[in-house]
Each structure stands twice: as C-alpha cells, then as structure tokens.
Amino acid sequence: LGVHAQVTRFDARGEVAEWHVMLHVEPRCDLFQRQMERIYEAEDSLLRMPGFEGAQYVMKRYFLSDSTNQQPLMRKQPDISISIIQQQPLDGSKIAVWLYLQSHTRIANENGMVV
C-alpha cells in the first residue's frame, strides 16, 4: 500500500484495550487523491490485522496540507468522530491520520453526535 503505521496498544488486563495509530503515506510524490485512497485502504484493512481483534474506530484525526480544497474529496463517516486539522504532515505528504480505537465498547451516532 505504501503506508507506514506507528502503533501503540494499551491493554488493561481483560478490560477495554486502546490503540493509537498514526498512518503516513509513502512515497510522497502522489497527488492528494491517490494518497487519500491509500490511507483509506490502510484504515479498512487495519481492523482485519492480527492484534486488532475486537477493535473499533472511536476517532480519526486527519492532517491535511490544503483542507479547504481537500476536505470535500473525503468520504463521509457518520458513525465515527472525525476531526480535520489544516496542518501539512511534517514528512511532506499531503495527508496523514491519527486513529484512536477501543475494544469492548459501542460507538453510535445519536441525534447527530457520536457517543
């Protein structure tokens, strides 16, 4: 995929497990559309990877190089808390994402709010 992942897991002895994942796109010569597609492919495959059993996305924070023009191109994700930061990733790519996941929890969209 050309995506680099930095993963940290916190496990509370059989209770809720937490993951913090940073996804970075490599190589950086692609246009935004292709970089975004690769980030989404990595997000979609992450939950099927070993070590992520029972994990659900709680929050996704995207870092964009040109939020005004790039945000309308992004897919809608109504059942996850999404934030978009107008700050180009330090590695020079056009998009990166910080993902926060938990196990043994229920995420829902109630009255337009993710809870």
Distance (Å, whole) CA 55 – CA 42: 15
- Taking domain 3-114, whether its CATH number is 3.40.50 is answered by no
What integer pLDDT is reported at residue 111 of this predicted model?
Answer: 73
What average pLDDT does range 2-31 have in this prediction? Answer: 91
pLDDT confidence bin for 14, thresholds 50/70/90 = confident
Q: Structure pTM?
A: 0.90
Indicate if the pLDDT at residue 100 is higher than 80: yes
Parse the chain into domains and list their residue ranges.
3-114
Closest CA to 97 of 71, 72, 69, 61: 61
pLDDT confidence bin for 105, thresholds 50/70/90 = confident
What average pLDDT does range 93-110 have in this prediction? Answer: 89
34 is written with which tokens? 């292709």
Q: Largest Cα–Cα distance of the chain, in whole Å?
A: 44
